[in-house]
């Protein structure tokens, strides 16, 4: 039976469309859609168990995978099968998760899985921009308790014009690359990178994307209605007790308020809050504690959150005693690690990052191999968040999604300031040694200083700051918090991270938890962030004002050289013998790439100190050496022969030519050793290619004065007897003058 298909089409306004289709694929999932733009097709399925899990959070898994078959390619590796997700896939999962998660009820604890798969790839369409749309559309077709439709859109700007979901080619020319997630009413998530834009320009980009998202949300609602909107499933809600909530609030509020106002450290404050909580628990009998279960802890957390928020809104004070726009004390240091190519420490309050820089050749570039994109990164940043940074002991299970996300944000913040002509592959690693608020922004600051310390000629230094927002819709009060603490991260209505230079924003990440946040508040928050960012930038430049002029003595120097395509093979040698021996002798690393446009060879030479690099450059100069006809060159005898001497040009070692015995001197030379010997150095004149021998000709005698009375030998007469054309004195019969009456031997045989 042919399935009934339901479809909605979204017009992007420039001739492109996005279609949402359901009813054909994956019908046993609780909701499934195929989202298509051009030849790009995403299949999204959603499933949620009907039984609540025994946890106090939403066990939501968002999985995004790109199938290599979608692009007509094979996966790399031995098994030729898709394996663990790439960093690019992980980043897309995070973008979708951050928008979906807040829209499920807080007491919904069923295991829920959202799976998005790239089934067909179009080089002109970036699939991650449609992943949020696909996820929300599938949920709208399910019976999940979900607040409202959402979508995500990428916005770029080319020549001053905003573009929704630009192609990768357009993105190369764009000065903005932002992903916005929103419902029809509220912006919920922003993440992206920019080319030093202003706060107002960033806000305009968000507004532009939100208008497009409204259309996408309406299309999802229309599709769900046509398909047949399902009744929202019933689930067992969490137990509530209003009287208990009020009782605990009254017991805890004033005590928490007092501790919050005391401006204590993280651990002191945590211990004080813990004592209040234990005191409240102790006021209940064992039977009551068993009966109420986790309600006591739940209501205490609500009371604590309310008290801390009120302290900020009412008195403009924060947990550590700072004012809302005050930055924690900062100290910095560079060149801390003696053996790295560059290093720095950035400490802000109770957050500390140690950054290192390693310089390498193009061989060390980070290779990206995804079905939707193949390329390499010559600058990349890795972020590590060990458990001791928060005073915890837990096992390390590989790189977490959070580490991938935070590292990517810091990388996007810095990469625009690495000059295009930087000869190195640059790897920055940030080790978080302490964490109490915004270690990703500490990574940006530490990374800036470490690269400047390493001698990477950054265009401008970059700093970053994490901001928070606390608002009260009833009173209209709000407070923007600069440089938030870890505790302030979860109790606020918005947390956002902004990085930039003194001239504009380079990257941002926002999670907005309150509905209907006005753009006026958003602009004010961004401007306050700018003030904080500039303050931090001042601390950075006090420590290291400009990049070091040179790399460190123990760090490698990089020299690049272009050579004609025809010389690449000679430099590499048979089986790589020449280049391998050269690297071993000079203690350098040599990488040869081919320019895809000019087809020239690009030779990268990496070495510590100039001796080895100079030796490689000399070898290349020798390889490229072309003597000019009529010029005189100094040569050295490197081999003796009966009929001459092999000499090499002293300015191009390894470049050899035969000096024939007849060109040694004007006088007749019986033995080569009568004139020159091994190791002799003298001048010769270059005559180019000899027409008779078709080999290069050089002469020593040509630059010597002729002896007195010297008589030139007469030129050879080719017609004389014995000439080459007369078969050396034989009769004039050549092979073509054989007697015509000569019969083949087999003619003598009888038939």
Q: Is 747 annotated as a binding residue?
A: no
- CA 516 – CA 183 distance, rounded (Å): 10
Label residue 653 exposed, middle or buried (CB < 10 Å: 0-12, 13-18, 19+).
middle
> Nearest Cα to 428, choosing from 507, 439, 445, 376?
445
Label residue 272 exposed, middle or buried (CB < 10 Å: 0-12, 13-18, 19+).
middle
Look at residue 714 in the predicted model and tell me its pLDDT. Answer: 63
711-744 pLDDT, tens digit per residue, is: 776 655 545 444 444 444 444 444 444 444 444 4
Look at residue 238 in the predicted model and tell me its pLDDT. Answer: 85
131-188 pLDDT, tens digit per residue, is: 999 999 999 999 999 999 999 999 999 999 999 999 999 999 999 999 999 999 999 9
Residue 336: band (very low, low, confident or very high) from pLDDT cuts 50, 70, 90: very high
**Percent over 90 (pLDDT), the chain:** 60
CA distances 392 to 264, 434, 435, 490, 690, Å, are 20, 11, 11, 19, 81
461-490 pLDDT, tens digit per residue, is: 999 999 999 988 778 788 999 999 888 887
The answer, yes or no, to whether residue 262 has pLDDT greater than 50, is yes
108-126 pLDDT, tens digit per residue, is: 999 999 999 999 999 999 9
> Nearest Cα to 45, choosing from 71, 59, 58, 64?
64
SS (H, E, C) 500-534: EECCEEEEEEEEECCCCCCHHHHHHHHHHHHHHHH
Residues contacting 242, CB < 8 A, separation 6+: none
Biggest alpha carbon–alpha carbon distance for the chain: 135
Mean pLDDT of 562-571: 86
Considering the chain, what is the average pLDDT of its residues?
89
Range with the poorest average pLDDT among 32-36, 453-457, 509-513: 509-513
Rounded to a whole number of angstroms, the distance between the first and last alpha carbons of the chain is: 85
Look at residue 737 in the predicted model and tell me its pLDDT. Answer: 46
The answer, yes or no, to whether residue 675 has pLDDT greater than 70, is yes
Look at residue 194 in the predicted model and tell me its pLDDT. Answer: 95
- 3-state helix, strand, coil split of the chain in percent (to 5) is 35, 30, 35
**Percent over 70 (pLDDT), the chain:** 94
- List b or e across 555-565, with b for residues whose CB sees 16 or more CB atoms inside 10 angstroms: bbbbbebebee
Q: Is 495 annotated as a binding residue?
A: yes
What is the token pair recorded at 509?
């990440």
Range with the poorest average pLDDT among 406-420, 444-458, 657-671: 657-671
Residues contacting 565, CB < 8 A, separation 6+: 594, 599, 600, 601
Q: CA torsion, points 270, 271, 276, 279, in degrees to nearest 10? A: 140
Using the structure block, give the residue that is written with the tokens 């490698």: 556
Degrees, nearest 5: CA angle 59-63-67: 165
Residue 751: band (very low, low, confident or very high) from pLDDT cuts 50, 70, 90: very low
Element (H, E) at 719: none
- CA 618 – CA 614 distance, rounded (Å): 6
Other C-beta atoms within 10 Å of 369: how many? 15
- List b or e across 656-678, with b for residues whose CB sees 16 or more CB atoms inside 10 angstroms: ebbbbbebbeeeebeebeebbee
633-662 pLDDT, tens digit per residue, is: 899 999 999 889 999 888 888 788 999 988
The answer, yes or no, to whether residue 81 has pLDDT greater than 60, is yes
Say what the pTM is. 0.84
Label residue 554 exposed, middle or buried (CB < 10 Å: 0-12, 13-18, 19+).
exposed
> Nearest Cα to 309, choosing from 479, 452, 430, 451?
479
Helices 610-624, 577-586: crossing angle, 10 deg rounding: 150
Residue 68: band (very low, low, confident or very high) from pLDDT cuts 50, 70, 90: very high
Query: Would you say 361 and 453 are in contact if contact means Cβ atoms under 8 Å apart?
Result: no
569-606 pLDDT, tens digit per residue, is: 888 888 888 899 889 989 999 999 888 888 888 999 99
Look at residue 731 in the predicted model and tell me its pLDDT. Answer: 47
């Amino acid at each position: 039976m042919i399935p009934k298909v339901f479809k909605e089409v979204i017009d992007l306004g420039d001739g492109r469309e996005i279609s949402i289709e359901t009813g054909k694929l994956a019908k046993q999932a609780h909701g499934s859609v195929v989202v298509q733009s051009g030849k790009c097709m995403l299949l999204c399925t959603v499933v949620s168990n009907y039984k609540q899990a025994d946890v106090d959070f939403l066990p939501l898994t968002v999985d995004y995978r790109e199938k290599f078959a979608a692009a007509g390619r094979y996966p790399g590796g031995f098994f030729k099968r898709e394996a663990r997700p790439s960093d690019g896939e992980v980043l897309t999962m995070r973008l979708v998760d951050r928008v979906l998660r807040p829209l499920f009820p807080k007491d919904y604890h069923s295991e829920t899985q959202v799976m998005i798969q790239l089934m067909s790839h179009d080089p002109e369409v970036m699939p991650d921009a449609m992943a949020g749309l696909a996820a929300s559309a599938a949920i709208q077709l399910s019976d999940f308790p979900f607040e409202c439709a959402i979508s995500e859109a990428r916005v770029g700007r080319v020549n001053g014009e905003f573009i929704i979901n630009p192609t990768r080619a357009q993105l190369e020319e764009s000065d903005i690359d932002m992903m916005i997630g929103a419902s029809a009413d509220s912006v919920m998530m922003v993440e992206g990178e920019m080319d030093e834009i202003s706060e107002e320009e960033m806000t305009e980009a968000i507004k532009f994307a939100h208008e497009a998202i409204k259309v996408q949300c309406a299309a999802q609602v229309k599709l769900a209605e046509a398909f047949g909107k399902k009744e929202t499933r019933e689930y067992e809600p969490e137990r509530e007790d209003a009287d208990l909530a009020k009782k605990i609030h009254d017991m805890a509020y004033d005590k928490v308020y007092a501790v919050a106002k005391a401006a204590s450290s993280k651990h002191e404050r945590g211990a004080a809050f813990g004592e209040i909580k234990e005191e409240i628990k102790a006021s209940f009998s064992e039977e009551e504690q068993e009966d109420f279960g986790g309600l006591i802890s739940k209501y205490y957390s609500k009371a604590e959150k309310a008290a801390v928020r009120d302290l900020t809104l009412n008195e403009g004070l924060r947990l550590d005693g700072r004012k809302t726009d005050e930055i924690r004390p900062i100290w910095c240091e560079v060149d801390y690690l003696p053996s790295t190519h560059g290093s720095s420490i950035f400490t802000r309050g109770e957050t500390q990052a140690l950054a290192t820089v390693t310089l390498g050749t193009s061989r060390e570039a980070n290779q990206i191999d995804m079905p939707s994109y193949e390329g390499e990164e010559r600058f990349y940043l890795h972020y590590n968040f060990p458990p001791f940074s928060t005073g915890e002991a837990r096992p390390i299970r590989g790189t977490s999604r959070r580490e991938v996300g935070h590292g990517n944000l810091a990388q996007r913040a810095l990469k625009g300031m690495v000059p295009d002509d930087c000869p190195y592959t640059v790897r920055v690693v940030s080790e978080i040694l302490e964490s109490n608020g915004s270690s990703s922004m500490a990574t940006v600051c530490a990374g800036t200083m470490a690269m400047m310390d390493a001698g990477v000629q950054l265009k401008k230094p970059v700093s970053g700051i994490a901001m928070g927002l606390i608002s009260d819709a009833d009173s209209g009060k709000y407070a923007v918090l600069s440089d938030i603490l870890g505790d302030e991260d979860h109790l606020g209505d918005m947390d956002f991270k902004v990085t930039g230079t003194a001239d504009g924003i380079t990257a941002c990440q926002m999670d907005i938890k309150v509905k209907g946040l006005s753009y006026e508040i958003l602009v004010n928050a961004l401007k306050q962030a700018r003030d904080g960012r500039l303050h931090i930038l001042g601390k950075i430049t006090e420590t290291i004002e400009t990049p070091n002029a040179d790399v460190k003595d123990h760090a490698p120097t990089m020299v690049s050289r272009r050579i004609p395509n025809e010389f690449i093979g000679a430099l590499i040698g048979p089986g790589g013998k020449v280049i391998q021996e050269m690297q071993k002798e000079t203690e350098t690393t040599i990488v040869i790439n081919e320019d895809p446009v000019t087809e020239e060879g690009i030779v990268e030479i990496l070495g510590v100190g100039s001796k080895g690099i100079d030796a490689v450059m000399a070898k290349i100069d020798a390889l490229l050496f072309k003597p000019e006809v009529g010029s005189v060159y100094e040569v050295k005898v490197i081999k003796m022969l009966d009929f001459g001497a092999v000499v090499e040009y002293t300015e191009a070692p390894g470049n050899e030519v035969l000096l024939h015995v007849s060109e040694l001197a004007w006088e007749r030379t019986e033995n080569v050793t009568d004139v020159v010997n091994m190791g002799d150095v003298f001048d010769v004149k270059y005559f180019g290619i000899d027409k008779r021998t078709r080999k290069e000709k050089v002469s020593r005698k040509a630059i010597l004065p002729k002896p007195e009375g010297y008589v030139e030998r007469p030129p050879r007469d080719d017609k004389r007897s014995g000439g080459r054309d007369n078969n050396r004195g034989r009769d004039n019969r050549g092979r073509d003058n054989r007697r015509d009456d000569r019969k083949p031997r087999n003619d003598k045989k009888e038939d």
